[in-house]
Structure 1
């Protein structure tokens, strides 16, 4: 049977850090809208500084460190991807187009056959 446990933030320090992240992001948005009279540069600077500070604080918390580790692992795995050559990509694309054409013809012929059977033979509406 599958485990239904939910992983939560366990330490008080992590909870405080995540609360600080939320407060910093909120302050950034509030500052963005309150400083509308000072120009777009000031607004964006306040928002970006607040978000950068929130990211910095969030990176020190355990969930943030796990997220950074996950990102590193994802980049490692993405580097292992072997992309097809141009020739292989063109061949597969050709196969897909051919399959689409064959399926379109099959569906069109099936539609016309059913139309002929139902309307022509059974109902006689022609």
Structure 2
């Protein structure tokens, strides 16, 4: 069996698992609606139970394992990030505010100049 066929079979099986997980979540939503006369605890329990079952189904799919692996790697990558100190963050925020203010003033000046050129010179308005 070639590698392509194995990938196709795995992706088909994964699609079935993911589809089943979606159906389980939909069944949980329907159960929540149909159990209208029951206590809130029972209704929420049915819905949360469907989420747990759907999670377990997704966990055993290749897509689920890759997603969990990605999340684990992302968490470890965030731990390695060197975050700025409070002083550095405050200084950078101040720089951004000053830059935005200066750019706003420059754009306002250009806008007023264009307004003067277009209305004053071309259209003859005062």
TM-score (norm 2): 0.81
Is structure 2 residue 44 aligned with structure 1 residue 59? Answer: no
**Is the Cα contact below 8 Å between 1:58 and 1:64 reproduced in 2?**
yes
Please state how far the C-alpha of 1:43 moved relative to its aligned partner: 0.8
How many angstroms apart in 2 are the aligned matches of 1:8 and 1:78?
A: 34
Is structure 2 residue 30 aligned with structure 1 residue 30? Answer: yes
How many angstroms apart in 2 are the aligned matches of 1:11 and 1:91?
A: 50
Consecutive unaligned residues of structure 1, counting only runs of 5 or more, are 1-6
CA pair 9-95 structure 1, distance change in 2 beyond 3 A: farther
Partner SS for 1:124: coil
Between Structure 1 and Structure 2, the one with more helix by share is 2
Consecutive unaligned residues of structure 2, counting only runs of 5 or more, are 1-6
Which residue number corresponds to residue 99 of structure 2? 99
Please state how far the C-alpha of 1:14 moved relative to its aligned partner: 4.0
5 Å matches for 1:5-44? Answer: 10=10, 14-44=14-44
